[in-house]
Structure 1
């Protein structure tokens, strides 16, 4: 039977929730003065030993809601391979690991990240040191369970599925089944997601025992501090509208979501030719290059990140001012995750969807899902079209550049399969040459 967990009286401090002194000190060092709603509601039940289903908007602090109870239990047990967190993306896995290490700094927690794109031998060395916490993508965890000698999860006490709705996609289904078949049945299981789907309900029945459901948000919602609009246009002028919008938002930290990996690269090059500090990130890039692009964005070296939905889940980039949907997502629920990259932790934010004649139906499904009609973006179309000639020339030059890079890559013997680093390093070269000219 599923019990509801939203009747507990709200507590204003982590200490009042039952968090131990060492972890309260760690929270204070991170600037966490008061628990968020999902933390205040979930942590007491977790400390009581309950299985949890946590539904909360992105940016609500749900990572802390499972990290703190696990660390508190680890403080008492001090066992290796104590908890495993499964994540749908490499970046989110790395970010969760960083949260464990930051909050566990006072108690000496050891954490290992198992994700693709990184040498398995290096990861096996970390596993041989018997870390307390493993954060992994499902496929790479299965690889280690099958191939890394001496590694098993027999001592596992906690299993967390973060972004659970995404983990239940067909891409992860087989790996997830294999993991659930080899871990102990006597364990605590936490399932966290921003959205509840039929697949999440199915998983809940399969691997949780009498869970407490914590619903810190309505079923499919966006935060009140987020301003959302759409902008309707002919598809042939979409790039002009994007450039106009970025010019209006000059200086803002912006994420632009597209539907394909190739488009992230093309738009990034085009925008740089127009003087914008843009960089791409997508699933075809190697892990090192994806992290390099993400770190440049976080550090402010570039302020426009052109991305696919690989960047829509869980990434905590506090200073994102604007989210632009260059392409409307095929799955309406992905819209919630995309716009959740801004207006995080009580801050305000702005999201605008560039809507052409081919995407109207998908957009109407989004409005239906979030239960509100959005207003149009106010702009003079004549001003936008003044950019057309410049934008088309930049696109022409970008096409030539990509073809030239593709030709060099084909001629190179044993070249890197993923040439997206050209975008990252060319961005750095441009920046370096500007500095040289200033000197």
Structure 2
């Protein structure tokens, strides 16, 4: 990887040679790790110009709208693979054979139930708690059930932890929803698919049988695939930071859930739905489009454009097709969905949006799909967390495999210089 060197002059550090690293894809990277030895370090708010780690899992080319998982394009995975196949690929680096996948699927389904004491833990939360608050708390609490004898340096323990997290997250997430509406928890059914099982735990009741709609099952599976991993985003970086101390993996994932909750990250599709509720009807759209174009107006269209993708979000292409499949299947006529479809039409045809590449992103379409499936907005980010768990745990495992260094960012201190203290009491 150290293909070349670059010479820099910083203050008294004359002709300081830094390694120039060449990735398999993407831009060359200057290794500044030894800059500190010369008495200097870099200032990079948000780490937008800093590679915090080396990874082989996911690659993004935002300018060209490319997303690869272990080298496989997201469009192909969404079309040809199931979510659990993508999970296997992210964990292991290669696509599974038939026997490998069957064993993997059995192993995941073996761990879908949660300890009975976890059921009682829910009673400690207020009924009107946000499901993400509950999910974060309960996931962190799982660390209390899986800690004795857990050795994060043992590959087999890491594999078992990955399976437990993957299998239990949909169960806990569905419990968060059931608790919020006062319904009894529904036990997992391992004969169902991963996505089908989650929908069953969400919507089944003891009073009557619930049959999973295959179109909605397929849509949920695609939503999970498209949110499985996205390189070094805020929540993944949080998991890596927490994991760098050797912390319990369930606690690390709880930290990732906390980071994901924010409206600038996983809460974007929930924020998108709130925007649609604010617009209310198609007749109000011109007013809000004008406001979005007014740089002096604080209103922003949520669900359009992306911080990373300067072109069309490749996930949105797949999600758009799925969105229309779901709406056609359900035959829903809803004011908010009509607003969303009209906004989509405008964004794809209005020169203002096209020139600025403000295309509908994956959050825009996933929010519409989830609303059409009768899933409340408060659960949108919870479903994102189910999907992203495989990405988080894959990065956590990779970090341990590659040998980790505890995260310790520096700071640019602008406070007081040293001064003497005298009590004013």
Output the TM-score relative to the length of structure 2. 0.26
Higher strand fraction: Structure 1 or Structure 2? 1
The structure whose residues are more often helix, as a share, is: 2
